[in-house]
Amino acid sequence: MAVKERVGLVVSDKMEKTVVVAVENRAPHPKYGKIVVRTQRYKAHDEENKCKVGDRVRIQETRPLSRTKRWMVKDILSSATTS
């Protein structure tokens, strides 16, 4: 069985050991053909609290860790730029 993975942007890191990751899905509209952008938000487990807002991360599906948390951060692809 294949493991589900998604790549998205961290939009919130205010929780302890949890981040909210927004994953964009771009697909053509079935009738009109225009590219429609749909955003799905996932709560992901971040054990070391390494992720910050703006980081691009890869998340992986896992067993339920809480009522809404079913994903975990596999790795950080790129860090947010800090000014």
Determine the 3-state secondary structure of 28 from DSSP: strand
Q: What is the pLDDT of residue 82?
A: 58
Around 48, how many Cα atoms within 13 Å sit in the side-chain half-sphere?
6
For residues 44 and 70, give the distance between their C-alpha atoms in angstroms, rounded to a whole number: 7
- On the CB side of 26, CA atoms within 13 Å amount to 3
In the chain the domains, ranked by start, together with CATH numbers, are 5-78 (2.40.50.140)
Q: What pLDDT does residue 80 have?
A: 80
> H or E stretch including 58?
strand 56-61
Please provide the size of the chain in residues: 83
What string of pLDDT tens digits covers the 83 residues of the chain?
789 999 999 999 999 999 999 999 999 999 999 999 999 999 999 999 999 999 999 999 999 999 999 999 999 999 987 54
